[in-house]
Amino acid sequence: MENNKNVALTRAGSSALMKKVEEPEVIVTPVADIFETADAFVVKLDMPGVSKETISLNVDPKLLTVRGKIVPFQKEPVKMLFSEIEKKSYMREFNLGTGIKLDEIDAQYEDGVLIITLPKTDEVKAREIQIR
Protein backbone atom coordinates (compact mmCIF):
# COMPACT_ATOMS: atom_id res chain seq x y z
CA MET A 1 0.00 0.00 0.00
CA GLU A 2 1.33 3.43 -0.91
CA ASN A 3 2.10 5.91 1.83
CA ASN A 4 0.65 8.95 0.05
CA LYS A 5 -1.41 11.60 1.88
CA ASN A 6 -3.59 12.13 -1.21
CA VAL A 7 -4.85 8.56 -1.42
CA ALA A 8 -7.86 7.22 0.44
CA LEU A 9 -9.36 3.74 0.35
CA THR A 10 -13.03 3.17 -0.31
CA ARG A 11 -15.13 0.03 -0.53
CA ALA A 12 -16.19 -1.14 -3.96
CA GLY A 13 -18.80 -3.88 -4.01
CA SER A 14 -18.95 -6.19 -1.04
CA SER A 15 -15.32 -6.57 0.01
CA ALA A 16 -12.85 -5.19 -2.54
CA LEU A 17 -10.92 -2.03 -1.77
CA MET A 18 -9.93 0.45 -4.41
CA LYS A 19 -7.77 3.53 -4.29
CA LYS A 20 -9.42 6.90 -4.71
CA VAL A 21 -7.33 10.02 -5.04
CA GLU A 22 -8.81 12.80 -2.93
CA GLU A 23 -9.77 15.81 -4.97
CA PRO A 24 -8.68 19.27 -3.85
CA GLU A 25 -11.34 21.51 -2.39
CA VAL A 26 -13.58 23.05 -5.05
CA ILE A 27 -14.51 26.75 -4.97
CA VAL A 28 -18.05 27.35 -6.23
CA THR A 29 -19.72 30.62 -7.19
CA PRO A 30 -23.12 30.65 -5.48
CA VAL A 31 -26.08 31.70 -7.62
CA ALA A 32 -27.59 35.03 -6.67
CA ASP A 33 -30.71 37.15 -7.05
CA ILE A 34 -30.46 40.91 -6.49
CA PHE A 35 -33.50 43.00 -5.63
CA GLU A 36 -34.01 46.70 -5.08
CA THR A 37 -36.48 48.13 -2.60
CA ALA A 38 -37.15 51.78 -1.83
CA ASP A 39 -34.64 51.67 1.05
CA ALA A 40 -32.08 48.99 0.15
CA PHE A 41 -30.50 46.58 -2.26
CA VAL A 42 -31.02 42.93 -1.29
CA VAL A 43 -28.74 40.08 -2.37
CA LYS A 44 -29.99 36.51 -2.00
CA LEU A 45 -27.37 33.74 -2.34
CA ASP A 46 -27.98 29.98 -2.41
CA MET A 47 -25.28 28.28 -0.33
CA PRO A 48 -26.62 24.82 0.58
CA GLY A 49 -24.64 22.75 3.05
CA VAL A 50 -22.81 25.72 4.54
CA SER A 51 -22.71 26.15 8.30
CA LYS A 52 -23.54 29.69 9.45
CA GLU A 53 -20.33 29.74 11.50
CA THR A 54 -18.20 29.38 8.35
CA ILE A 55 -19.74 32.33 6.48
CA SER A 56 -17.76 35.54 6.27
CA LEU A 57 -18.73 38.88 4.74
CA ASN A 58 -16.06 41.46 4.05
CA VAL A 59 -16.90 44.90 2.77
CA ASP A 60 -14.82 47.84 1.69
CA PRO A 61 -16.11 50.95 -0.10
CA LYS A 62 -15.98 49.24 -3.51
CA LEU A 63 -16.26 45.48 -2.93
CA LEU A 64 -18.44 43.01 -1.01
CA THR A 65 -16.90 39.54 -0.63
CA VAL A 66 -18.93 36.55 0.58
CA ARG A 67 -17.32 33.24 1.58
CA GLY A 68 -18.74 30.06 3.11
CA LYS A 69 -17.47 26.53 3.59
CA ILE A 70 -19.11 23.13 3.72
CA VAL A 71 -17.81 21.36 6.80
CA PRO A 72 -17.91 17.54 6.70
CA PHE A 73 -20.69 16.10 8.86
CA GLN A 74 -19.37 14.40 11.99
CA LYS A 75 -21.20 13.94 15.26
CA GLU A 76 -18.36 11.95 16.81
CA PRO A 77 -14.97 10.71 15.67
CA VAL A 78 -15.62 8.30 12.80
CA LYS A 79 -13.65 6.60 10.08
CA MET A 80 -14.90 7.70 6.64
CA LEU A 81 -15.56 4.66 4.47
CA PHE A 82 -17.14 6.31 1.45
CA SER A 83 -17.90 9.89 0.49
CA GLU A 84 -19.49 11.43 -2.60
CA ILE A 85 -20.07 14.87 -1.11
CA GLU A 86 -17.47 17.26 -2.47
CA LYS A 87 -15.35 19.34 -0.18
CA LYS A 88 -16.19 22.80 -1.38
CA SER A 89 -16.28 26.43 -0.49
CA TYR A 90 -18.45 29.20 -1.84
CA MET A 91 -17.02 32.57 -2.85
CA ARG A 92 -18.62 35.52 -4.62
CA GLU A 93 -17.68 39.17 -5.00
CA PHE A 94 -19.91 42.12 -5.81
CA ASN A 95 -18.73 45.55 -6.91
CA LEU A 96 -20.30 48.29 -4.81
CA GLY A 97 -21.12 51.74 -6.05
CA THR A 98 -21.61 54.82 -3.94
CA GLY A 99 -24.87 55.21 -2.11
CA ILE A 100 -24.69 52.25 0.31
CA LYS A 101 -24.54 52.66 4.08
CA LEU A 102 -21.60 50.30 4.64
CA ASP A 103 -21.88 50.39 8.44
CA GLU A 104 -25.54 49.24 8.33
CA ILE A 105 -25.23 46.15 6.10
CA ASP A 106 -27.19 43.23 7.55
CA ALA A 107 -27.04 39.50 6.78
CA GLN A 108 -29.28 36.55 7.69
CA TYR A 109 -28.73 32.86 6.92
CA GLU A 110 -31.43 30.21 7.04
CA ASP A 111 -32.02 26.91 5.24
CA GLY A 112 -29.04 27.32 2.91
CA VAL A 113 -29.97 30.84 1.80
CA LEU A 114 -27.94 33.93 2.71
CA ILE A 115 -29.79 37.26 2.48
CA ILE A 116 -27.69 40.42 2.58
CA THR A 117 -29.41 43.80 2.94
CA LEU A 118 -27.45 46.84 1.75
CA PRO A 119 -29.25 49.99 2.94
CA LYS A 120 -29.24 52.97 0.59
CA THR A 121 -28.01 56.41 1.56
CA ASP A 122 -30.56 59.22 1.34
CA GLU A 123 -28.80 60.57 -1.76
CA VAL A 124 -29.71 57.50 -3.88
CA LYS A 125 -33.17 56.77 -2.51
CA ALA A 126 -35.98 57.51 -4.91
CA ARG A 127 -38.16 60.36 -3.79
CA GLU A 128 -41.39 61.84 -4.95
CA ILE A 129 -41.34 65.39 -6.22
CA GLN A 130 -44.32 67.52 -5.29
CA ILE A 131 -45.92 69.47 -8.13
CA ARG A 132 -46.74 73.10 -7.31
DSSP per position, 1-63: ----TTEEEEEETTTEEEEEEPPPPEEE---EEEEE-SSEEEEEEE-TTB-GGG-EEEEETTE
In the structure, what pLDDT confidence band is assigned to residue 65 with cuts at 50, 70 and 90? very high
Give the pLDDT of residue 59. Answer: 94
Q: How many other C-beta atoms can be found within 10 angstroms of the C-beta atom of residue 81? A: 9
Question: 107 exposed, middle or buried (CB, 10 Å; 0-12, 13-18, 19+)?
Answer: middle
Give the pLDDT of residue 87. Answer: 79
Between 43 and 78, the higher pLDDT residue: 43
* pTM for the full predicted model: 0.74
Which domains does the chain possess?
25-119 (2.60.40.790)
Helix (H) or strand (E) holding 86: none
Question: 66 exposed, middle or buried (CB, 10 Å; 0-12, 13-18, 19+)?
Answer: buried
Predicted confidence (pLDDT) at residue 19 exceeds the cutoff of 90: no
